[in-house]
Structure 1
Amino acid sequence: MSIHISQTAIVGKCCLICVSYLRKSLFRGFKEEQSASNTDATSEFERYITYVVQIEEEAELSENISRSALNSINRLLQESENYVPSNLIKLLQKSEGFSGVIEFVDDEVPTLLNEEETRYCWSLETVTLTSFAIAIPNIDDGNLKALLASMKEGLEFSRHIEESLNTNGDLVKARKAAKRIWPEIELYRRWLKTNLQKNACKGCTSKEIIQHLADEAEKVVKQVKSCKKGSLDDSMYKYIAANSMYRTSQTILRYCDAQENWPTDEELFQRISTMIADILCACFTNLPRVITLKCHHKAMEKRIESIWSAAQLLGRSKQILKILEARQLPNLDLHSRVYLHMWHSFPKSQIPSGCASPVIKTNTASPCSNESTIVNIT
């Protein structure tokens, strides 16, 4: 047997095992799969060995290679399950539904960009909301550190989704903007060189701080618009990030002003944290589709790496999917579920605000259907 065929056999087996886990763990209402025993592994091998497609008609699949691949993927899944994103899990447990996808921005707040340039991006909107949470005064530093740690873990998962599914040009720009501003927020608690906690230290109220951030965002957009065309591209990420900051800040101000009493600092912090959790939960409903796509990577030279990545992602997201088990999803089709702006434009009355039965309602096009999936390696 040639090396090329051996590698293909390994890829084929890994893909089949990944999909067998996907079918059991994800397609049936995000139900979790228990770690396979040695007996289960043998059973898996015997069941799926016949589905591996060989390149050469006369080639025989090596049983040792297939068993090795099966053991490798099982071991990788089990090892990945040990790396639980514990901070993220705690944050997601604050969410009881998906209300945050509606509430994070008020459509009546005008955009500072052209309408066609305005796209809601999972990572950018959660990063922007995190900036506000950091800026709110009188919040325990331990809670801020916990939120930052949660976001760091959450962005690892959301970027898998955005890089696989959100390939629209404007969304790519928004994702890159989030990637550019996040390190400064995480490490130095600054947004575009603006110290997020400076005004809190001066004794400013949360309302004054949020208004200040709105003003700073508006200044950034005006500065970028006044730049010559040659330097505009270099500042595009600031342009996009500032628009997100402006609209979100104005939305928070409108919400708080509409209340009988302005929320306490702690209440505002918890509201923002819950919105972040809601948005991330909505984003993570796309994890099954992303994992499946990674198992179907077309480029042979990248397929092994992609399948290994799928196995790791599946193992690490096990607890996340468990949280989503009890969620009732809005009646969004598979394509629409990928985009935050589609969630946001959905009628609020039809966005579930709490947990429902463990069975998630989906249409036949959803990756959560009960249909079995067979992967063919060619």
Structure 2
Amino acid sequence: MKLLDKSTGFNGVIKFDNDEVPPLYPEETQNCWSLVAVTLMTIAIALPNISNSHVKELLDSMREGLQIVRNIEETLNENADLVGARKQLDVCGQTLSYTTSGYILIFKRSLAKSTKKILQWLGDEAVKNVIEFKSCKKGSLNRSVHNFIASSSMYRISQTILLHCSKQENWPNDAELFEWISTIIADILCACFTNLPWVIKMKCHHDAIEKRRDSIQIAAQLLGKSKKILEILEDRQLPNLDLDSMAYINKWRALPNSQTLSRCTSSTKVQLTSSSELLMVTVV
């Protein structure tokens, strides 16, 4: 909740990726909420001069937030490419959170590199991984596809942050950049969490009887967590997206800036619709 309080709108779904960053290859991998959030987190904790307490707070927040994000993704993201990307994230998420992040932390502390050099290094390493994947023989693609997915995301996001910093009148210090990235993460989580009412409803009506009990139990847990989350979102207008499109971060990112502005007084707000239907669930 402390992380979500940093968000005042949904602008982060646009700011995390800049179209001015040229693609490495014409075909782009599709983003999912969890991959973008984990990549941003990795960059944030790689920044020099950030206290261990702030790093721990962000990691703890992400650990809780990603549990909800993955429930949403598993329920709503039926796109085959995104399902594959999410399965790979179980592997590449560990790589980002432990192997890569741990190596970056050692790198930044031992060599005392500047923020700019670390961002450049992240982008360069990502490019190397993508090129290596593209040069692999067909039979070995499955072994390295998770690195390709993670590296493609790391390249675009690290270069977007570099571009953002270079456009500022003064290059932001590490604390300012950490706060900026944390706010983008909070915006992305909030945008993802607008799907909670629909996810809870779907889990309460699982068709398979043998899975219905577990599904309703998850729905009850999400409902308990949703109250405070939706209190944060209650004065925000939903974008002009249909219900299916709201499940995908790329659909949000395609919105014009005017639809991701912070607070509004419109009657079209985030609400836990059909709450009576959600609460009155009978397990037979």
TM-score normalised by length of structure 1: 0.70
- Name 1:53's counterpart in structure 2: none
- Name 1:356's counterpart in structure 2: 264
- Name 1:274's counterpart in structure 2: 183
The CA distance in 2 between the partners of 1:138 and 1:377, in whole Å, is 52
Identity %: 54
Which has more radius of gyration? 1
- Name 1:83's counterpart in structure 2: none
Q: In structure 1, list runs of 5 or more residues that go unmatched.
A: 1-88
Alignment of 1:140-159 (within 5 A): 140-159=51-70
Judging by fraction of residues, say which structure has more helix. Answer: 2
Do the aligned partners of 1:294 and 1:306 also contact (CA within 8 Å) in 2?
yes
Pick closer, same or farther for the CA change 1:166–1:92 going to 2, 3 Å: same
From 157, 163, 185, the counterpart of 1:248: 157
Which one-letter code corresponds to 2:258 in the other structure? S
Corresponding position: 1:221 with 2:133: no
Corresponding position: 1:342 with 2:251: yes
- Name 1:92's counterpart in structure 2: 4
Which one-letter code corresponds to 2:47 in the other structure? I
- Name 2:100's counterpart in structure 1: 190
Give a deviation string over 1:345-375, Cα, whole Å, max 9, x none.
00112212x223485447xxx9747997898
Give a deviation string over 1:48-90, Cα, whole Å, max 9, x none.
xxxxxxxxxxxxxxxxxxxxxxxxxxxxxxxxxxxxxxxxx10
Which one-letter code corresponds to 2:78 in the other structure? T
Pick closer, same or farther for the CA change 1:351–1:198 going to 2, 3 Å: same
Shift of 1:196: 3.9
The CA distance in 2 between the partners of 1:376 and 1:142, in whole Å, is 44
- Name 1:134's counterpart in structure 2: 45
- Name 2:73's counterpart in structure 1: 162
Runs of 4+ off more than 4 Å: 369-378
Corresponding position: 1:318 with 2:227: yes
SS at match of 1:317: helix
- Name 2:22's counterpart in structure 1: 110
Do the aligned partners of 1:98 and 1:281 also contact (CA within 8 Å) in 2?
yes
SS at match of 2:6: coil
Give a deviation string over 1:34-61, Cα, whole Å, max 9, x none.
xxxxxxxxxxxxxxxxxxxxxxxxxxxx
Which one-letter code corresponds to 2:3 in the other structure? L
Give a deviation string over 1:161-180, Cα, whole Å, max 9, x none.
11011121211222223322
- Number of equivalenced pairs: 283
Corresponding position: 1:230 with 2:139: yes
Do the aligned partners of 1:123 and 1:155 also contact (CA within 8 Å) in 2?
yes
Do the aligned partners of 1:189 and 1:197 also contact (CA within 8 Å) in 2?
no
Shift of 1:201: 3.5
Shift of 1:310: 0.8
Q: In structure 2, list runs of 5 or more residues that go unmatched.
A: none
SS at match of 2:49: coil
From 84, 105, 109, the counterpart of 1:173: 84
Give a deviation string over 1:182-208, Cα, whole Å, max 9, x none.
33444x4624x7434412442211000
Pick closer, same or farther for the CA change 1:259–1:121 going to 2, 3 Å: same
